[in-house]
Every structure is written in C-alpha cells, then in structure tokens.
Chain A
Amino acid sequence: MIPADTLEAARPEVAPQGVRRSRVSVTLVVGSVLAGLIALLAVVSLFWLPYPADDTSGGRLAGPGGGHLLGTDKLGRDLFTQVMTGSRIAVEAGLGAVLIAATLGIVLGVLAAFAQGWLDDTLSAFLDILIAFPTLLLAMLIVAARSATLGSAVLAIGLAQSAVVARLARILVKRVLTQDYITAARISGTSWPRIVLGHVLPNIWPTLVVNLALQFGLAVLAEAGLSYLGLGAPPPNASWGRMLQEAQATFTTAPAGALAPGILLVLLVVGVNLVADGLRDTLDPATGRRRS
C-alpha cells in the first residue's frame, strides 16, 4: 500500500513506530513457497504432462518408479500426471471461486452498507440465509440446472462465498463510513461513487485481501469435496477430490493414489492460509499504522 520510496523520501519527524516494518514475515515466505510450488505444477501442466491424460499403458496399481514417479492408478494411468492436472483444477477452482466471491461480495456488501431501514434488514437476512444454505445443496441445484462441470462447482462455491465476503464488506464499509475523513470528503464535494472508490475501498482492501486469501483455501477444499462426490470436473480431468475417491478402495494396497493428492491438497491449503496470515501482518492497517 505504501511504496518504500515514500518512507525513504519522507522520513517522519515523529512516530517512528508508525512506520511499517519492512521485515517480511516468515509465514508469508513459507506460505508463498508452498502455494507457489503447487501453482508451478499447475502452470507446467498447461504445457507439458509426463503422459497423456488417457494413457493407460502403465499397468494397474504399479508402485512408484519404473517411468512412473508416483506409480499408477487402478486403470493404469500415471499418478503424477493426474496430480499435475489436479493442481491445475484446484488453482482454477480457487481463483474462479474467489473472483466470483470478490466481485459479487464487494458489490453486495457496499450496497448493503448504504442501504437503510427495511432494505438493510432484508439484505442482511438474505446474506445470512445464503451463508446458512449448505454449499453442497447449492452445488447439487446448480449441477442439476446445468451439468457436472468444473464451472458448476466453482459457481456454487463462489456464490456461497460471496455471501461471506458481502457480510464482511458490509461491516467494514459501515465502519469506514463513520470516519471523519468521509465526512470531510463529503464537505469537499466529493460524490458518493468517488468516495467509495477513492476512500472506502482502499481502506477496507487490506482486510478484504486477507479474507479472500482464506476463501481461496476454503474454495480449494470445497472443490475437492464436491469432486469426491462426483459434482466437480468430469473424467478424464483428474481432480484431487476424485482421485481420493477412486483410490479409496485400494488405499491399503496402493496408498500412493490417495496420499499424493491428499498431501498436495494439504500443502496448497496450508500454503494459502499462511499467505493470508502473513498478509494480515503486513497489510492490516491496525498493525501497520499504530497511533502516534
């Protein structure tokens, strides 16, 4: 938010403790590395895969080694290939859901914050119902209306999360609106849309970004859950959730089929949660800018 050059150019005479610590938090680094590794797998999978997705030449349930880094599944497909495709699907699901949640959630949240009287009550009740509504049921409805694709799953997750984001945005906007600088901007003749874009959104952004990072992790988990139930991307796209489901029966004899997607799923979610934590430390105005 605050470019380093300002801090250099304008050394404060007072309140050095108000200056943001430039030390990068450890959690942010570790989280970025973990999430970055998975993202790298996902990007590489777009251009190169060890085997074609439908290649079944490997022999059933082969162990790791012998041309198959992680072995093969019960149909003889290369596990590492599937894991790579799965990482792409996971990242896509996370990004897509967060994009939907952020766009819809922020718009709804800002509108709800400005709403008065019965409209405010109605919007709040609507958001509460949407939050209480099971994502699974929502996903089933959307799949029934459209078809079982990754898009349907992402849409369901994004819609469910947009309510959470909207409720947070509403509270944050309401809090900012009571600040004197908003009143000062109104006295200056700044119009409401400009106040929202110029003053409100920048001030709620740090908190929102942290929450959106957390939502990314939740979306990845939700997508795995939906795929496990057959509500995600259809075969031959190997989603981690479906890999887990397919490997369930043979877990005792060939654990790699379940362990590989399971571990990557944990790494990605832990990674983005650490990133969220690290962002909170560096971005949040409450810690970055103490009273002087």
Chain B
Amino acid sequence: MTFLDVRGLTVRTAEGRVLVDDLSFTVSGGERLGLIGESGSGKSLTTLALLGLLPSGMTATGSVELAGTQIVGATERALTSVRGRDAAVVFQEPLTALDPLMRVGRQIAEPLARRRGLRGAALRDAVGDMLAQVRLPEPERVSRAFPHEISGGQRQRVALAMALACDPGLLIADEPTTALDVSVQAEMLDLLDTLVRERGMAVIFVSHDLAVVARVTDRALVMKDGRAVETGTVHDLVRSPRAEYTKSLVAGARRLEAALDLRSPR
C-alpha cells in the first residue's frame, strides 16, 4: 500500500529559481526511505513540501499524495488536518526545534491537546507517557524544564516525543542526529529505530551521512542540486553505485572507515 506518492515535485523560489527539480518517489506504509545529499541539495525543502510547509514565497508544483490527500495546492485548513496525524517532522537542530521560553511539558502537550483533545490529568499523564517512551530519565523534571536546561540529546528526544505524540503514519526525520555528539548519535538512532519499528511507522530519513542512512533505512534516494541522482536499496547503492556522486559518497564513507581500521587493527 502506497502511503506517500510524490510525482514530479518541483519547488521554485519567488524569482523562479528551481530548487527541487522534478522529484518522484513513493513510500509504502511502514517502509523506510533515506534521502541523501549534501547541504543545498534540496532535501530539507523536499520534506517541508511534503507537508505544505514551504517558506513563504516558495511554490511547489507537481503532485504529493499523502495518505490519499493531495498536498500541493491544498488549503491551509485541509493541511492542518493532515499534519501531525499523517506525518510529523523531527528537525535537525534540537535547539531551535523547541520554543526556548516554553516548558518542555507544555510543548509536548500542545499536539496532544490539539490532535487528541486531551485535557487536565489525562493530558499530564500522556505527556509523562511520551517522555518515558523516548527513554528520558526523570520525566517529571524534564517536563518542568526549559529547553536550555536540558542537554542536546535530551532536547532531541523531546522533539521526537512531540513528533510521535499523534502517532503519525509517516515520520520525517530531517538530519535528526547531525547536531549531536557521536556517542549520543548512535543512541538516538537506536531509539528512533526501535520506536518506529514498534509502531510500524513509515520513515523518511534525511541525512548527508551515508553511514547513518544505512543504519536506519532499507532504500535510499540520492539527491544533488535538487535532482534525484540515483535510487535503490541501500545494499545496492553501497555495493555498486552507478552515479558519479554516489560513488564519491561511498568512497568517502569507506575512507573514514579505513582510517578507523588503520588506527586500531583488529
């Protein structure tokens, strides 16, 4: 069953510059797709376009069908009912993804209150439950804290809890581990992997890091300058990359790995 069907998605700036060029891909329910590309390749814009959240002035053409709803050209009202319920986003920078002046608990409560209509004690329990699900220690304390009072890894878990709050069919993770320390990064990937697997959620995982994408997804789409360069299973992409850009990505990742092996021979 196709959950997300993107056909000929093109994003232009107000001046008509093309930032995402004729992109097509599908994601089935429960499937994991990686979006790989360097910064400026249009991968983040693509994820925003999937929910009709493009920055003002930018326009999308083509077709984006999310759980049967056409996103391109939809009214704000129609989009509001799709966002959060069918798809939610975890952003790259955990510092800006949370309102610096609002307590963490209230921020998680927001989607729960709006989407599930929870109030009072039920809402408080649901917030505690979400914090526990993303394995945050001392949910009580975290819930009362402001974003700057918790660590970067904890902030990203909170952001993940917000995204998962409404149990969306598709989770869009936009470089969710890039801003984190390497050790925290691995933990975060494991957590994401477990939570998504438990829920049978589809995932679009955006990253510039081939190794990170290989860890989480089955299939990947390689983007460069707003275009799809190559698509296939992660296995095939790593084993036998066809496009020049993919080859350089794989070679780069291998060089790093080789450096590790060289320094600590097994």
Contacts and interface: CB of A to CB of B under 8 A. Distances in A.
B167 to A, nearest CB: 13
Contact of B148 (A9, A178, A187, A289): A289
B126 to A, nearest CB: 14
A68 interface: no
A219 to B, nearest CB: 28
A14 B155 CA distance: 12
Interface string B122-157: 000000000000000000010011101111100000
Interface in B8-59: 48, 51, 53, 55-57
Contacts of B148: 12, 15, 18-19, 289, 292
A285 B148 CA distance: 11
Nearest to A199: B99
Given A12-B150, A180-B96, A292-B148, A186 B83 contact: yes
B110 A188 contact: yes
Contacts of B200: none
B89 A181 contact: no
Nearest to A2: B146
A10 interface: yes
B100 A203 contact: yes
A18 B100 CA distance: 11
Contacts of A178: 55
Contacts of B146: 2, 6
B80 interface: yes
Contacts of A6: 103, 144-146, 149
B93 interface: yes
B144 A184 contact: no
Contacts of A7: 149
A184 B100 contact: no
Contacts of A250: none
B84 A187 contact: yes
Contacts of A183: 48, 53, 89, 91
A273 to B, nearest CB: 26
B97 A189 contact: no
Interface string B88-116: 11011101111111110001001100110
B162 interface: yes
B102 A198 contact: yes
A57 interface: no
A12 B141 CA distance: 10
A189 B83 contact: yes
Nearest to A189: B114
B162 A184 contact: yes
B222 interface: no
Contacts of B56: 116
B144 A187 contact: no
A76 B88 CA distance: 76
B159 interface: yes
A54 to B, nearest CB: 52
Nearest to A177: B56
B91 A203 contact: no
A14 B100 contact: no
B145 A14 contact: no
A2 B99 CA distance: 13
Contacts of B51: 187
A94 B101 CA distance: 29
Contact of A202 (B101, B114, B150): B101
Contact of A199 (B57, B93, B102, B162): B102
Contacts of A292: 148, 151-152
A22 interface: no
Given A6-B145, A6-B146, A187 B100 contact: no
Interface of B: 48, 51, 53, 55-57, 80-81, 83-84, 88-89, 91-93, 95-103, 107, 110-111, 114-115, 141, 144-146, 148-152, 159, 162-163, 165-166
Given A12-B150, A291-B95, 14 more contacts: A6-B144, A10-B141, A10-B149, A12-B145, A19-B149, A180-B93, A183-B48, A183-B89, A184-B89, A185-B110, A188-B111, A285-B101, A289-B100, A289-B148
Please list the 10 inter-chain residue pairs (A to B) with the smallest Cβ-Cβ separation, ordered nearest first: A188-B111, A189-B114, A14-B151, A180-B91, A180-B97, A18-B148, A12-B149, A181-B99, A10-B145, A180-B96
Interface of A: 1-2, 6-7, 9-10, 12-15, 18-19, 116, 178-181, 183-191, 198-199, 202-203, 285, 289, 291-292
